[in-house]
Amino acid sequence: MIYFDYNATAPVMREAREAWLTATEKTGGNPSSMHQAGARAAVLLANAREKLAAYLGCHPADLIWTSGATEANNMVMHHFAKKAQPASEVWVSAIEHPCVFDSAQYYFGKKAKLIPITSEGVVDTDWITTEMADARPGLVAVMAANNETGVIQPWREVHAICQAYEVPFFTDAVQFIGKMPCHGLGECDYVTGAAHKFGGPRGVGFLKIPHRSQMTPLLLGGKQEGGRRAGTENVAIIAAMMAALEVREKQIARNEHLLRKLWRENFEREFVRTLPGATVVGANQPRLWNTVAAIMPDGDRKHQWVIRLDKAGFAVSTGSACTTGKEEPSHVLSAMGIKPAQAMRSIRFSAGWETTEPDWQALVAALAKIHL
Ligand code: PLP
């Protein structure tokens, strides 16, 4: 089976497994305990925090470990719901992951306003600038890169607009971190990430908050994480996440992602050539080197493609793992103005660091064969 569903989750890499085992064997204490075993666990956590802070470019004290990005994203919305002025709105891009989108709607209802998206899958910065002249939302949320299309969002630009109007800016960087250079993300007010998208274990992630700011906890009942997130930290799983990120950061520093971008581009050229009528979503936009959202030629619907490819030995997806199984067009493609009939023929190929050029070539050959 050749795996092309890394945006759903990536296999846990060897370095992460080893870091987990070492931390489990050698760091048995609770990081809040006063004895030496506790202190060893606390040191490991502090080192992990420092490393992540250095990668993102923020202060270690601004980082909170969480059970993943769903929790971290919910924490942001919960915090603003508790601290926001009753009249304030939150503006969220129309292509956010459901854990941002749904929690914004849950906490803010009609005061959660959608930021429109261009037909190329990019958040409309002109809209933000124009609207900001008249109204100040309590928070703006725009993800760093979209999980379905891979389109990289202008998070630096949106952050700059927000700074000019003193509006807090939140970016879900789950699909960006561990694939693209992440230094500078730490300057955004709120940033979230999850280990399992870059080769770490599932069930661990983080939230970065503004320096010396308050955070209304979502989980109560302990003073861990500076009282901002109760519950004993899972030291070994955090060590594993940081071991994975360290490997990815080194690969990115060596520009290994640029070669992989070429492989994806070669695949796309071959893909549209061999399957007349097929298109790539957001084709002309800067995209993650690993992601291709494709609209397949007239005929079969997305689920049929996924099943046929599965039988041919390729794991691909119909889009977000959180929406698979639903016989509905994706909200991301709909926000781009893609008609439901087309959106129902969309599938996502998402590669990983382990994917090779022959894997991409095998995928296009299999697609051509299935299509015949
Ligand atoms: N945000 C984005 C953009 C994602 O792709 C995902 C996972 O699919 C999440 C948030 C949720 O992350 P987690 O699985 O760690 O809860």
pLDDT (0 to 100) of residue 31: 96
pLDDT (0 to 100) of residue 325: 56
335-340 — which CB contacts under 8 Å span 24+ positions? 335/94, 335/95, 335/114, 335/116, 335/117, 336/95, 336/117, 336/118, 336/119, 336/120, 336/121, 336/149, 336/281, 336/282, 337/119, 338/281, 338/295
CA angle, 330 as apex, 172 and 156 as ends, to 5°?
30
Burial letters 179-207, b for 16+ CB under 10 A, else e: bbebeebbbbbbbbbbbbbbbbbeebbbb
Q: Which residue has the tokens 């999980």?
A: 147
What is the chain's pLDDT, residue by residue, as a tens digit (372 residues)?
A: 999 999 999 999 999 999 999 999 999 899 999 999 999 999 999 999 999 999 999 999 999 999 999 999 999 999 999 998 777 999 999 999 999 999 999 999 999 999 999 999 999 999 999 999 999 999 999 999 999 999 999 999 999 999 999 999 999 999 999 999 999 999 999 999 999 999 999 999 999 999 999 999 999 999 999 999 999 999 999 999 999 999 999 999 999 999 999 999 999 999 999 999 999 999 999 999 999 999 999 877 788 999 999 999 999 998 755 555 556 889 999 999 999 999 999 999 999 999 999 999 999 999 999 886
- 192 C-alpha to ligand 1 centroid (Å): 9
Going by CA atoms, what residue is nearest to atom 12 of ligand 1?
A: 69
Substitution site in 174, 204, 291, 324 for ligand 1 pocket (most atoms within 8 Å of beta carbon): 174
- 176 C-alpha to ligand 1 centroid (Å): 11
- 199 C-alpha to ligand 1 centroid (Å): 14
> Letter for the amino acid at 8?
A
Q: Which residues pair with 91 in a beta bridge?
A: 113, 140
Q: Which residue has the tokens 């990815």?
A: 248
pLDDT (0 to 100) of residue 117: 98
CA pair distance 84, 214, nearest whole angstrom: 13
Q: Which atom of ligand 1 is nearest to the CA of 195?
A: 15
Q: Which two tokens stand for residue 15?
A: 């370095």
CA pair distance 346, 318, nearest whole angstrom: 6
Q: Which residue has the tokens 């202190």?
A: 39
CA angle, 176 as apex, 57 and 208 as ends, to 5°?
40
pLDDT (0 to 100) of residue 326: 57
Tell me whether residue 322 is one of the annotated catalytic residues: yes
CA pair distance 323, 286, nearest whole angstrom: 24
17-22 — which CB contacts under 8 Å span 24+ positions? 17/240, 18/243, 19/236, 19/239, 19/240, 19/242, 19/243, 20/201, 20/236, 20/237, 20/239, 20/240, 21/236, 22/239
> Letter for the amino acid at 307?
I
Q: Which residues contact 357 (CB under 8 A, 6 or more apart)?
A: 263, 266
Going by CA atoms, what residue is nearest to atom 5 of ligand 1?
A: 147
- 147 C-alpha to ligand 1 centroid (Å): 8
> Letter for the amino acid at 89?
E
Q: Residue 319 in contact with residue 307, Cβ under 8 Å? A: no
Task: Count CA atoms within 13 Å of residue 279 on its CB side.
Answer: 13
- pTM of this prediction? 0.97
Closest CA to 261 of 152, 135, 131, 366: 152
Q: Rounded to whole angstroms, what are the CA distances from 217 to 124, 179, 222, 230, 289? A: 32, 30, 10, 8, 36
Task: Count CA atoms within 13 Å of residue 199 on its CB side.
Answer: 24
Task: Find the DSSP H helices in the chain.
Answer: 14-26, 36-56, 69-83, 98-108, 125-134, 155-164, 224-227, 235-253, 256-274, 302-311, 331-335, 340-343, 357-371
pLDDT (0 to 100) of residue 371: 83
Ligand 1, residues at Cβ distance < 6 Å = 68-70, 73, 97, 99, 143, 147, 172, 174-175, 194, 205, 321-322
Q: How many Cβ atoms sit within 10 Å of the Cβ of residue 305?
A: 21
Q: Residue 91 in contact with residue 139, Cβ under 8 Å? A: yes
pLDDT (0 to 100) of residue 299: 78
pLDDT (0 to 100) of residue 231: 98
CA pair distance 175, 192, nearest whole angstrom: 10
pLDDT (0 to 100) of residue 323: 54
CA pair distance 113, 37, nearest whole angstrom: 48
Name the CA radius of gyration of the chain, rounded: 21
